[in-house]
Structure 1
């Protein structure tokens, strides 16, 4: 690989370079630290400043800020983890009740745990596919909807649906009903009408982009992620303690979960103020109405020129199909058009970043359902042990992510230029470091999977690699304007599509190999890390002092390149 060096260029030289899809520039590994950080587009800055002035008289727990989002997300995460931990044991026990049982030496009833694992794997797999299909439909609407009606209303909706769904799911495994596998699947899928975890994270990131400057978004997203992981770590400990104090009654932890999510709903309803500027919401609403009217108008024209009844029916069916496929409309946000000079560098970078984002999800999240089942089989863990493991994972993530977000990013900023409108060297170094860590973590686990200490080592090293997730989300936003709800909605759609397939594959592999080599599914994340690491070398850095695209043009979907004074740097 050639050593990279930076070259100062005039606008005409830049235009010539940007007209070519491929170009050779030799530059040094380090960027010039004397290059000033780029500034934010005036429209986004005005929206944020006006929102701050509008809420300046409010108390700190009401003003849109990082503090507020961390507080409410803490309650949501606490509720989810207090619910998930006992539900694992309750589900296993409920399935065991439905199977033929033997009487053990101490007169206790026993069932074939291998059979229970197979059924549980099936339930989890089907429920995940169904939930992701529902989330796929909802998440495609949630992102653009949050741009039109605001972030706080979406939080209230998500909290309400979560409360209803978790209540139904708890009822399906309670002693009040018989064991019905498909009822358990149905009840467990209700919460997916929120759009799922990825839609929640998308709304959180949209909230952050509303109130936080671009230069601080990576750290802010890392802080929120750290808070979520901390709650994910502390909640299972609290759940285990509650279950122990109540003589092993798992339902008490679930009741506490209901209390936490109820507080989340009340706070979001009566205390949290909207972070999105009213003018921005009006712009999004006008753009949405214009698009809908255009679709209806085109349909009416086609119907008017239809000569036969059959042709009218075909046009009607075509229109309905288009309306259904409209759930994928946010994905168009990821397909940036060529610049005025014909360059595809922005589109190239965004698509590559999105690919890396999907690989990260595959390597760090998709295998978790199979891994939890692995612990119940290989280590014979129950609710309490699973709670401790999730706590260890969450706390490790919180500490490591929190430290790296503040210290690691600041350290890298001293050595490389921080850019607001292009992926930069800081981002790329973090991506490469993250993939290396996850690769090493997976290898460490596969060396001795029968020892739970290998799993704990895997978690710690993987947490170090998890630092690249907030940096990647922040990198993608550099290419967009104020309608971040649509952007993060598009990312949520891709995540859900990935989660629709990946966990099902891993659970399927686990179900097939559980009797002789249950850790086989972990080889897939290993391969994903290698692919992701290689792809980071194809990202291109563009040093600019102005946005690549006009903000109004981004919102309208007609993008054009502004005049820039920049440097373009290939990494290969």
Structure 2
């Protein structure tokens, strides 16, 4: 009996150490377990850890290197913050640039078709009242729909590939590649804006395509999370993720108003695009040549060897048609339907409903982003500065809800976190999780109902602030989902969520922008009615999730 206890303690202790090594970018944990089978069953070391990997000191193979070669989240945090500000600042100028280019194209067509037609020239930094017509609004929505569709479809294909390549060839290289597509898009946009008479606005669609091929900003954000995962232990990983989310929303909040101020001071929106181009060049060079790689050469080689052995075992065909046939996009979703001992209908229902609510909320956010900017341009005659102020106010409220309101409520309800009281058995989401989720979806529903009814700019801004409080739902939803699967399946679950988000990024904008295009001349608020109804459906789903859905040893393929 004592021998069995000693073997269990030794095995658990080594497992905790191996998991920490893998989390820090060290040797692959699976291979270490395989190698361990040939060693004596009894450990000669006196180890009383009991296998709690959180109490094991991390084994960091980068510890002996100088500081400028040791990976840390701070190497990525600073350049990512600058990129996030630029990303937030470019959204409104790009939409307004597209509207102005399409308006100029429309007016040229009218001059050709109607003899004697006279219209004021389009000024890129002016109000352009001649563009406040339904046809230009419709063309703008169609153009952004095509662009988002192209970028979304291509990124849905390339994002999983880039994520897998980052396991085998390093995070920094793949992050730099994602920035390359955005950089190319900036060059094309600048050329189109500088020479509108000779450069067709349709070339901007090529910029969307290049951005999608390289994975776009969302893929960069995902691989940045992988970099943070390599640099942190599981106990502190959520803190690192929160820092990156904070930088993203702060950038989206501060970027638009900075872009508006730059446009006002320089008299041209082109300055913003040149700044964005410079930021992308800096980010690409920094991640490609300066930031330390978080994955060691040894772990990269092990990942490449395992990938090659798996391909050999599957006898992968070199024929591209056979490779297309073997692709199964829905396979990752199996993690949301566990079977076998330990699984229950309640567990599967909770997983499906939580994933559905998360996907609906993400889809509405993606589907409404461009529509809102086009809508306020024509409904309230807001230009780059006014739209930037609107986005900054809304996203500032979202940042406050994420990093002030939610943490404060959590502290009041759950008390001070105890890092030593960590349970390995997950018991599903609790009542507090469900309360936060339902409240967040309710705020989103009320906010979008306010968009529908708003006839004044101040009401539109207030509705945006109310909707921004729903930002508390996304991290709580993902946290609740991870409580329904074993810890070793967390990555697989988040990967399945990534697939759903990629599909929502394509489907949601297509549906909602099509509705906007079809109803803009009759009742342009129709799209907000549909968005409100979608949030209402998510709100109903949230009430069918049951708390404390205990998880046993369910089988997950």
Q: TM-score range by the shorter chain?
A: 0.7 to 0.9
Once the 2 structures are TM-superposed, how far is the Cα of residue 274 of structure 1 from its aligned partner? 3.0
Q: Is 2:324 aligned against 1:321?
A: yes
**180-189 vs 130-139, which moves further:** 180-189
Indicate which of 19, 37, 43 corresponds to 1:44: 19
State the partner residue of 2:79. 72
> Compared with structure 1, are the counterparts of its residues 446 and 50 closer, same or farther at alpha carbon in structure 2 (3 Å cutoff)?
closer
After superposition, give the CA deviation of every residue in 1:514-536 in whole Å (9 maximum; x if it has no partner).
22321211122322223323333
Distance in 2 (alpha carbons) for counterparts of 1:107 and 1:521: 28
Q: Contact 2:163–2:223 (CA<8 Å) still a contact in 1?
A: yes
- Structure 2: how far apart are the matches of 1:111 and 1:466? 34
* Equivalence for 1:511: 517
Pick closer, same or farther for the CA change 1:200–1:350 going to 2, 3 Å.
Answer: farther
Q: Distance in 1 between matches of 2:553 and 2:18?
A: 14
**Aligned-residue offset at 1:125:** 1.2
Q: Is the 8 A contact 1:350 1:476 kept in 2?
A: yes
Structure 1 unaligned blocks of 5 or more: 1-39, 301-315, 550-557, 561-572
> Within the alignment, does 1:414 sit opposite 2:415 as a pair?
yes
Inter-CA distance 322–241: structure 2 relative to 1 (3 Å threshold): same
Aligned residue in 2 for 1:468: 473
Q: What aligned pairs does 1:12-91 form with structure 2 within 5 A after superposition?
A: 43-48=18-23, 53-56=60-63, 63-91=70-98
1:530 equivalent in structure 2:
536
Q: 1:505 to 1:481 in 2, by over 3 A?
A: same
Q: Distance in 1 between matches of 2:435 and 2:68?
A: 36
Structure 1 vs Structure 2 CA RMSD:
3.5
- CA displacement at 1:438 relative to structure 2: 1.0
2:163 counterpart of 1:162:
no
Contact kept? 2:231, 2:294, Cα under 8 Å: yes
Partner of 2:400: 399
TM-score by length of 1: 0.75
Match of 1:565 in 2: none
Aligned with residue 267 of structure 1, among 286, 290, 307:
286
Picking from 216, 223, 230, the partner of 2:250 is: 230
Distance 2:120 2:362 in 1: 46
Change (3 A) 1:516 1:540: same
Q: Which moved more, 1:414-423 or 1:336-345?
A: 414-423
User: SS of the residue aligned with 2:447?
Assistant: helix
How many Å apart are 1:276 and its aligned residue?
4.2
Give the one of 268, 273, 282 matched to 1:249. 268
Q: Is the 8 A contact 1:62 1:273 kept in 2?
A: yes
Normalising by the residue count of structure 2, what TM-score does the alignment of the two structures yield?
A: 0.77
**Equivalent residue, structure 2, for 1:151:** 171
Q: 2:193 aligns with which of 164, 173, 192?
A: 173
1:377-429 CA-to-partner distances (Å, cap 9, x unmatched) read 10111112122222222322222212135323333433999866454314333
Q: Deviations over 1:125-178 (max 9, x none)?
A: 111212211112112312322333332222111112211122123323332653
Separation of aligned partners in 2, 1:489 and 1:107: 46
Residues 423-465 of structure 1: CA deviation (Å, up to 9, x unaligned): 4314333212211211222233333x21112221122122221
Contact persistence 1:169–1:188 (CA under 8 A):
no
> Larger relative contact order (C-alpha < 8 A, sep ≥ 6)?
1
Offset, 1:371? 1.0
Partner of 1:377: 378
How many residues align structurally? 491
CA distance in 2, matches of 1:118, 1:42: 59
Asked whether the 8 Å contact 1:202–1:489 carries over to 2, the reply is: no
C-alpha separation between the residues in 1 aligned to 2:121 and 2:94?
26
